Amino acid sequence: MTEGIFIKARPYDYPYDGNLEAARTALLVIDMQVDFLAQDGYFAKKGYDPAPLRAILPQVTRTIDAARAAGVLVIYTRQGYRADLADMSPYERWRRKRAGLDGSQALLRGTPGFELVPELNVAPGEVVVDKTANDAFCYTDLDHILRWRGVTHLLFSGCTTDVCVSSTMRQAADRNYQCLLIEDACASGDAYAHAAAIHMVMVEDGVFGVVAGAGRHRRTCSLATPTAGGRTPLMDPRRNPG
């Protein structure tokens, strides 16, 4: 196999050893649900503007399409509680009531708001992981799925950058996955928190991973299809100013 396949990223190129292969990589699409992106969904009822979240949809869908073409596993997460609230702690019930959502269907499984937005069509073989915590590894089978599939490298997209994306990425780093945040394929309702979350990835020389791609520099992550030589480069560093 050809050596030196990597993504130009900050604060160092990804992965550190240059051995980036589709079969060992997964794209995580975090919580792109109706309740977060709709004008009358949970996120909006919490007082946030979902427009920044909707704005990344074209980038996210292009990234998913490219990942599929390259043979990268795509995993979607959805956050929400059981419809009977059996998995909701007293503290979580209190927070829900404090937010004025007591008695509502916000973030409840089996409701329209819990579903992924219709712009995302889960393809056969792709995985959906349901969770109740911000961190997608918490009380789920995500780690088991990744280990069973031989995945060692994770690409992060979705919402929100500062909460569910960041929480999951930090846990992934602690589990020794090699992590990359696609910054123009994730978003938050708080611009400052979004920027801070991106910055926090890179502190201590990339303590949680690396960051690649900014919307102002490029419109899409350039993922390649399998090459004749057998190696599947995931992003073309010549087209990614990082």
pLDDT 10s per residue in the chain (242 long)? 234 478 889 999 999 998 899 999 999 999 999 999 999 999 998 889 999 999 999 999 999 999 999 999 999 999 999 999 999 999 999 999 999 999 999 999 999 999 999 999 999 999 999 999 999 999 999 999 999 999 999 999 999 999 999 999 999 999 999 999 999 999 999 999 999 999 999 999 999 999 997 332 232 234 344 443 444 445 443 333 33
185 sits in which H/E element: strand 178-187
Q: Which listed residue (131, 135, 159, 162) is catalytic?
A: 131
What was the pLDDT predicted at 227?
44
How far, CA to CA in Å, does 149 sit from each of 19, 26, 187, 223? 17, 10, 28, 20
- 31, 135, 162, 184: the catalytic one is 31
User: Rounded to two decimals, what is the model's pTM?
Assistant: 0.88
> Can 17 be counted among the known catalytic residues?
no
- Indicate the class that CATH gives domain 22-239: alpha beta
pLDDT, position 187: 97
Measured at the CA of 160, the angle between CA 152 and CA 72, to 5 degrees, comes to 30
Amino acid occupying residue 41: G
186 annotated active-site:
no
Q: Which one is catalytic: 159, 164, 179, 221?
A: 164
Q: Are 53 and 160 in contact (CB under 8 A)?
A: yes
Res 228: pLDDT: 35
**pLDDT value for 220:** 28
pLDDT tens-digit map of 186-236: 999 999 999 999 999 999 999 999 999 733 223 223 434 444 344 444 544
Strand (E) positions, 122-190? 127-131, 153-159, 178-187
- Does the annotation mark 164 as catalytic? yes
Domain boundaries, the chain: 22-239
pLDDT score for 240: 37
Distance between CA atoms of residues 128 and 65, nearest Å: 16
pLDDT of residue 6: 82
**SS3 (DSSP) at 50:** coil
Q: Specify the pLDDT at position 46.
A: 87
